[in-house]
Amino acid sequence: MTPAGPADERLTALISELATKGYLPGPADDWTRALHAVPRHTFVPARAWTPSGPIDRDAHPDRWWDAVYADAPITTQTDDGTTDPITGQGVATSSLSALSGVLFNMGFLDLDDGHRVLEIGTGTGYTAALTARIVGKAGSVVSVEVDAELASAAEKNLTAALPADSRTPALIVGDGADGYAADAPYDRVHATCSVQTIPPAWLAQTRPGGRIVTPYGRWFGYGSVAQVDVLPDGTGIGRFPGTSGYMPLRSQRPVDGHPADWDAPGARISRTGVNPRTVAYAPAAADLVITHLAPGVAARRADDALWLLDGRDPDCWAIVVLAEHEDLFEVRQHGRRDLWDETVAAYFRWQALGRPTLDRFGLTVTDAGERLWLDRPDDVIF
Q: What is the end-to-end Cα distance of the chain in Å, rounded?
A: 59
Domain 4-243 sits in CATH at 3.40.50.150
Catalytic residue among 16, 52, 95, 97: 97
Same fold, 4-243 and 256-352: no
Residue pair 361/351 in contact (Cβ under 8 Å)? The answer is no
pTM for the predicted model, two decimal places: 0.95
- Say yes or no to pLDDT of 352 above 50: yes
Which pLDDT band, with edges at 50, 70 and 90, does 45 fall under? very high
- Say yes or no to pLDDT of 243 above 50: yes
Say how far apart CA 293 and CA 297 lie, in whole Å: 9
Domains of the chain, residue spans: 4-243, 256-352
Per-residue pLDDT tens digits for 268-326: 999 999 999 999 999 999 999 999 999 999 999 999 999 999 999 999 999 999 999 99
- Say yes or no to pLDDT of 143 above 50: yes
Structure confidence at residue 2 (pLDDT): 45
Q: Would you list the DSSP string of 191-237?
A: ESSBBSS--HHHHHTEEEEEEEEEEE-TTTSS-EEEEEEEPTTS-EE
Domain spanning 256-352, CATH class: alpha beta
| Known active-site residue 97 | yes
243 or 165, greater pLDDT = 243
Per-residue pLDDT tens digits for 51-80: 999 999 999 999 999 999 999 999 999 999
